[in-house]
C-alpha cells in the first residue's frame, strides 16, 4: 500500500503521539491524585460490594494507560514500516 494513500475508517493521527500519550496519561494521573487528596470521602464510597470509587477510577486509569500505549506502539510500528526498517 502506498504510504500516501489515505486509509479508510481512520481519523487523522496526531503529529506528536508521544506528547499526546504524556498529556492524556499525565492529566488522568493528576485528576486521580487531586481527587484522592481532596475528596477522600468520595473516593472511599462503596459502589458495589468491596469496590470503591477510588478502585474503579484506578482501573479506569490503568485501562487508559494500556489503550494509549497500544495506540502509541501501533503508530511507532507504522512509522518504522514506512521508513523501511524491519524488526523490533
The span from the CA of 73 to the CA of 35, in Å, is 30
First to last CA, the chain: 21
As beta bridge partners, residue 52 has 46
Determine phi and psi for 2, rounding to 5 degrees.
-65, 130
User: To 5 degrees, how large is the angle CA 16–CA 22–CA 28?
Assistant: 135
Mean pLDDT of 58-84: 80
Instruction: Specify the pTM.
Output: 0.61
Q: Report d(CA 72, CA 17) in Å as an integer.
A: 6
Q: Name the helix (H) or strand (E) containing 51.
A: strand 51-52
Q: Which of the residue ranges 20-29, 53-62, 65-74 has the most confident prediction, judged by mean pLDDT?
A: 53-62
Mean pLDDT of 41-70: 89
* Among candidate residues 75, 78, 43, the one with its CA nearest the CA of residue 57: 43
Amino acid at each position: 500500500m502506498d504510504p500516501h494513500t489515505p486509509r479508510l475508517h481512520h481519523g487523522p493521527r496526531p503529529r506528536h503521539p508521544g506528547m499526546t500519550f504524556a498529556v492524556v496519561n499525565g492529566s488522568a494521573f493528576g485528576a486521580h491524585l487531586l481527587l484522592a487528596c481532596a475528596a477522600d470521602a468520595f473516593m472511599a464510597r462503596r459502589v458495589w460490594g468491596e469496590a470503591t470509587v477510588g478502585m474503579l477510577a484506578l482501573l479506569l486509569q490503568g485501562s487508559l494507560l494500556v489503550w494509549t500505549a497500544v495506540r502509541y506502539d501501533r503508530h511507532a510500528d507504522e512509522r518504522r514500516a514506512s521508513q523501511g526498517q524491519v524488526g523490533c
